[in-house]
Amino acid sequence: MKEVINAYRTQKINVDSFLKTFINSLPRNYMDNSLEILKKNRFIQLMYGVDSDFKQSTPVISKKESDSSQIGNDKSHYFIKLQLDGDDIYISNPYIHHKTGKASLSVVQYVDSIYYVFDINLIHLLEDLKLIEYNSFHDKVKRTIYFFGSTMLAFVAIALIAYGGYIFFTLLFSLSTSDFLHDIFTSIISMTLGLAIYDLAKQIFEHEVMYQSFHQTEDKQYKVLGKFLISIIIALSIETLMVVFKIALDDASKMLSAFYLLIGTTIMLVGLGWFYKTIQESTTKDDC
């Protein structure tokens, strides 16, 4: 939503100029031609008229219905800050529409003692003006896929955490196990991986399903990747520690293999540190 409003603010002069030209190009008998106007211009969500006493004088007409229930209602609270320009037109600041939940603008034109109000879908308007790239069908398909994928990842994570808990409680009630050290580390690794995968699923669900933006910021992707890598490195570090202990207790001649594993984990940790350092430097340059 923020990207839509920022795109509008960046091109506010051009967008407002287009809206004024567009409104002036419409036939003056707006309400009689409302269905045709709404059909030809998808960015108009609804329209209605308000008289000079700020009482609603026409039905609220949208693409799906005509609502006459609010005729006669006082609309003066919407017109407190109304300041018409030389063309008797007023364009509001962006807001979230109470009916559609979309980023919107209101355009008001004063004609023959009637204030005609047009509620504009800001997303569709900017898309039609080629100021943003947005495809509602593609967005719905992508959200559905991300929803299904993140949900399945969450189930996998819960299964891993449950398995780790199962192993741990089994050890508590059966301390005579032949390989206590191996089982306790397996429990820790299983729960750590489960938490890592769950955190990844949560990040995907929040950013791609609930709060999808129109512009994919690299910073967001880096945060998701970074948090996942941290969890994986923690799990690998625990696995390395387990291998070192097992080799030390069983066969010290295999310690070289454990050393290689330790070196590999260390390289990943150093790589992650370099990754974060590079991202911070890039972010600082962009801010400058």
Of 112, 129, 146, which residue is a domain's last? 129
Q: Where are the alpha helices (DSSP H) in the chain?
A: 2-10, 12-25, 34-40, 122-128, 136-172, 180-204, 218-250, 255-287
Tally the domains of the chain.
2
Q: Are residues 125 and 140 in the same domain?
A: no
Residue 54 lies in a domain: yes
Residue 287 lies in a domain: no
Q: Are residues 146 and 267 in the same domain?
A: yes
Per-residue model confidence as pLDDT tens for the chain (288 residues):
667 777 888 888 999 999 999 998 888 788 888 888 998 898 999 999 999 899 999 999 988 888 888 899 998 888 888 888 888 899 998 888 877 777 899 999 998 889 999 999 988 888 888 777 665 677 778 888 989 998 999 999 999 999 999 988 888 877 655 577 778 878 887 888 888 788 888 878 877 776 555 444 555 566 667 777 777 787 777 777 777 777 776 766 777 777 888 888 888 888 888 877 877 776 565 555
Closest CA to 183 of 162, 196, 165, 157: 165
Q: Are residues 118 and 219 in the same domain?
A: no
Instruction: Assign residue 11 the CATH number of its domain.
Output: 3.30.450.20
In three-state secondary structure terms, 53 is coil
Of 100, 129, 158, which residue is a domain's last? 129
**Nearest-angstrom CA–CA distance, 162 and 198:** 12
DSSP character at residue 253 = G
Residue type, 133: E
Domain that holds residue 68: 1-129
Model confidence, pTM = 0.52
Q: Are residues 202 and 181 in the same domain?
A: yes
Closest CA to 222 of 267, 277, 144: 277
